[in-house]
Amino acid sequence: MDGARGCQAYVVNVSPQEPDTVWVTEIWRSAEDHEASLAARGVRELVERATPLLAGPPERTELTPLGGAGLGP
Amino acid sequence: MDGARGCQAYVVNVSPQEPDTVWVTEIWRSAEDHEASLAARGVRELVERATPLLAGPPERTELTPLGGAGLGP
């Protein structure tokens, strides 16, 4: 996602307490930028390759950033 | 936290599903940098002022970033 329009952070994390869980922290300038990134060339193929590897459907927590340090333009 | 050594992101968020909840997404270069930030001048006073406003103790999910876009040096 590096270089994807409006992508301010896309960080892959693991949890010391949940070794089988991957957390992805994404910060996007807008919902539209995020939607557009999913249509970018190759992304759908990546999602299709990754999905069978998951133990279940991804859980998603959607937040609205109010502000802070580290947010891009 | 802007300018705090090792602070790569400190984003204050709200959740459309939980209007009474504030989420803070923090990304630090190291646990030591994070600890040092808590000892910085004025931070303890801020925590003491904010704590009585909370409905309960903060919940914390600690993750280890493996990599991705938007992570600083």
- Alpha-carbon span A28 to A38, nearest angstrom: 12
Q: Which residues of B touch A66 (CB under 8 A)?
A: 12-14
Residues A63 and B61 sit within 8 Å (Cβ to Cβ): no
pLDDT in tens, A3-55: 789 998 899 999 999 989 999 999 999 999 999 999 999 999 999 999 999 99
Checking if the pLDDT of B19 tops 80, the result is yes
Computed on alpha carbons and rounded to an integer, the radius of gyration of chain A in Å comes to: 14
> Phi and psi for B51 in degrees, rounded to 5?
-55, -45
Q: Is A19 on the interface with B (CB under 8 A)?
A: no
Residues A28 and A34 sit within 8 Å (Cβ to Cβ): yes
Checking if the pLDDT of B73 tops 80, the result is no
Complex prediction ipTM: 0.79
Q: Assign residue B70 a region: left if phi > 0, alpha if psi is -120 to 50, beta otherwise? A: left
Please tell me the distance in Å from B31's CA to the nearest CA on chain A: 14
Domains and CATH numbers, chain B: 7-53 (3.30.70.100)
